[in-house]
Structure 1
Amino acid sequence: MKAPGTLIRRPRQPVGERPFLVIWEATRACPLACLHCRAEAVPDRHPDELDGPAARRLMDQIASFGKPAPLFVITGGDPFQRPDLDALVAHGTAAGLRVAVSPSGTPTLDRARLARLRDAGAVAVSLSLDGSTAERHDTFRGVPGVFDLTLDGWRTARELGLKVQINTTVSRHSLPDLADIAALVRREGAMLWSGFLLVPTGRAGALGALTADACEDVLHFLYDLGARMPVKTTEGHHFRRVALQRAVLARRGERPRLGRLHARLTERAGELGLFEGAPRTARRPPMDVSSGRGFVFVSHTGEVHPSGFLPLSAGNLRDGDLPSLYRDAELFRALRDPARLGGRCGACEFAAVCGGSRSRAYAVTGDPLAADPWCAYEPGTFPHQDELREVAGCAG
């Protein structure tokens, strides 16, 4: 049988030495009241936020990891609540960083501000879309009018030449609407659609858990859509397992056995024409990056976390530098060692390439090395282990 192409992408540099992605929470100020907000955003800026000089030192430290520099994302809250945002983007760009910004869908998301971001050197924006209609999206975001503002900002950003990533929270709220959201993303056009499997932290703790079987159905549905549009997951690390399993099954002419949710999503996608037309010439392989392993998050006050959804700190930038904390902190070193994973994740043959969501494990159990409670896979049960080992070698 013909060997597949790259199934899992890996960063070019060792993840123990440098991150692939650094996200900085520039502020927690935001006028929205989103049901899932990790940051539990508030209307006003915090007095202990990293100021301009501290933010520039952070960007210089990111650049010191070497070339190619990590991708740098400025998030919030709403980054547009910082009046120095354009100057910070310009500094990061001058330091050699690829800078992206993740603004909220508010009246500040207008052409003038987006044009200033582009002119300062930003290469992309990421926007949140949690419903295919204004009623669905605005209910989730807690403020009326956000859906229209988001679509206007999305279209404007593309007109200005900025790349656009769309992020959708996969929750009980959005499950029935996922195919319709996908159709909207495909129609409007985006560099990437990211399905964020909810982590029950911050306000999201009140939204209720998904079942592991529902997550499995969603991941396979996203994999199916990946033949027609660029798709990724956030906190859905078992999507990498799915990609490997599906490659083996495809070579054998087999399909996975999935649940009713997958059938409903697939049926709706068919009604919307999502599977029509020629498939993409190449699928976007998922990136092998996880909390503390190629990924680092810096809070608005300078705390260094493995992820924004994993609220354990390795230290504060006021007391140390980012490269040292990322490379040497025991928390990060533990998260980079699959041998230290517990439960089913520790026993799983996919531990090195998946490892499960450390954020969700911590949110549910209090142990960041515990098994991901939203993974349905039982270690060792995939029937074609020899072929699995063969395709696992196609993780590039």
Structure 2
Amino acid sequence: MDLDTANRPLVLIWELTQACGLACDHCRADARPGRHPDELSTEEGKALLEDTAGFGDGQLVVLSGGDPLVRDDVEELVAYGTDLGLRMTITPSGTRSVTADRLDRLADAGLARMAISLDGATPAAHDAFRGERGSFDETIRAARDARDAGIPVQVNTTVCRETLGQLPAIRALVREMGAVMWSVFFLVPIGRGRLLESIDPAEADAVMAWLDDVSEREPFGLKTTEAPQYRRVVAQRASRTTRSENRTNVERRTGIVAGDGFAFVGHTGDVFPSGFLPSSAGSVRDRSITELYRRSPLFRSLRNRDRLEGKCGVCPYRQLCGGSRSRAFARTGNPHASDPLCPYVPDGYEGPLPWSDRRVGTDGTVADD
């Protein structure tokens, strides 16, 4: 697969709908039960998948929401994308929409993977976060039914103050469930997520170091979302140990940021660098997804690490990491600003610190502005 992120994204997410029966605390879309009347139609969706195939064989497409299974054309879209050579995956909500029969039909259509969300290791913790009693049990059942249907399962988990203490127990659940991947998402405060409390930068680095150890010891794969500093943490730890060069290369290859290896098509057709960076580059109703990704000024600017500002702009890890452009945008309105979750301060940097109202002075000490 072509890994040139200027030519194709590693991940393309299509938000089929914002309709969902849950009211999750972290919901980016601030989802509601009803569907939007201007969602991309089945035929428009097929046209989008045809354009997406222009990126090349094996392009990963994630059907998301809301709850994508609210739509009754999902199996048709999965089959259509699979026939085009796309790798079709889905992230349904933990509700009764994920029936065994529906999963069998999705498997027959060629679904390559299903991702479910676990934000607590117990029914009480998970259901409180998801805003729906019974969500934990439905999620565990859905994972079991997916495996029975031959669909590999990925587990997604949000990291914030409310879930931090649950991570070790969720790790154990991921192992017990036989999941192939644990995707750990570090909160970006948009949508209902604005009401949640993020962990602080030092805690974030500590969690990422722990996740690095987890990745070495568990049979499932591990990736982070909106946490590109994970690659900096891994590289720093590797430089102090005998970690293999191959492992460092894996972290380098799989790391992406909004607009650079990642694209998001909203439910009404607008194209964003990420679902967590709500600045539109245009609509697939007007231009092809390949043209928007490759040529739009917004996406091109996000792929230029020389555009980074603040301490991210002078960081020696900026090509490897790049910082969360979504979190920078959520904090400042500027997608090129420094990532406020990263505690690393480059040697010789003099300027503001994005996680506080302080700055580094000329003598290297931190002072109030």
- Give the TM-score normalised by the residue count of structure 1: 0.84
Asked whether 1:31 is paired with 2:21, we answer yes
Please tell me whether residue 76 in structure 1 is matched to residue 43 in structure 2: no
Equivalent residue of 1:185, what SS? helix
Runs of 4 or more consecutive aligned structure 1 residues displaced over 6 Å after TM superposition: 281-284
Using the alignment, how far apart are the partners of 1:130 and 1:283 within structure 2? 28
SS of the aligned residue for 1:251 comes to coil
Match of residue 233 from structure 2: 242
Q: Partners in 2 of 1:244 and 1:283 — Cα distance?
A: 7
Greater RCO structure (CA 8 Å; 6+ sep): 1
Q: What is residue 310 of structure 2 aligned with on the other side?
A: 343
- 2:113 counterpart of 1:124: yes
- Residues 155-186 of structure 1 show CA distances to partners (whole Å, capped at 9, x for unaligned) of 11112111111000001110011101111111
Q: Deviations over 1:336-390 (max 9, x none)?
A: 0000000111110010110000000000111000000000111149xxxxxxxxx
Contact 2:59 2:85 (8 Å CA) reproduced: no
Structure 2 CA distance, aligned partners of 1:231 and 1:120? 27
Q: Counterpart in 2 of 1:108?
A: 97
Please point out which of 268, 279, 284 is paired with 1:301: 268
Q: CA deviation at 1:323?
A: 0.9
Match of 1:205 among 194, 206, 227: 194
**In structure 2, distance between residues paired with 1:283 and 1:373:** 24
CA distance, structure 2, for counterparts of residue 357 and residue 39 of structure 1: 19
Give 1:12 deviation, angstroms.
3.2
CA contact (8 A) 2:114 2:154 kept: yes
Q: Offset of 1:221 from its aligned partner?
A: 0.8
Aligned residues of 1:362 and 1:368 also touching (Cα < 8 A): yes
TM-score normalized with structure 2 length: 0.90
Separation of aligned partners in 2, 1:78 and 1:188: 22
Q: Does the residue aligned with 2:114 lie in a helix, a strand or coil?
A: strand
**Counterpart amino acid of 1:21?**
V
Aligned to 1:95: 84
Q: CA deviation at 1:283?
A: 9.1
* 2:250 aligned counterpart, secondary structure: coil
Query: Please, which runs of 5 or more residues in structure 2 have no aligned partner?
Result: 349-369
Secondary structure in 2 matching 1:99: strand
Check the 8 A contact 1:48/1:301 in 2, yes or no.
yes
Give the deviation of 1:13 after TM superposition: 3.3
Deviations 1:141-165 (A, max 9, x none): 0000000000001011112111111
Q: How far does the alpha carbon of each residue in 1:180-226 deviate from its partner, in whole angstroms, 9 at most, with x for none? A: 11111111111110110000011001112321111111111111111
Task: Show the 5 A alignment for 1:142-161.
Answer: 142-161=131-150
The aligned residue for residue 42 of structure 1 is 32
1:181 has 2:148 as partner: no
Looking at structure 2, the residues matched to 102 and 127 of structure 1 have their Cα atoms a distance apart, in angstroms, of 6
- SS of residue in 2 equivalent to 1:144: coil
Aligned residues: 342
The answer for the alignment partner of 1:222 in structure 2 is 211
Question: CA–CA distance in 1 between the matches of 2:17 and 2:323?
Answer: 28
Identity within the alignment, %: 48
Cα distance, 1:317 vs. partner? 1.0
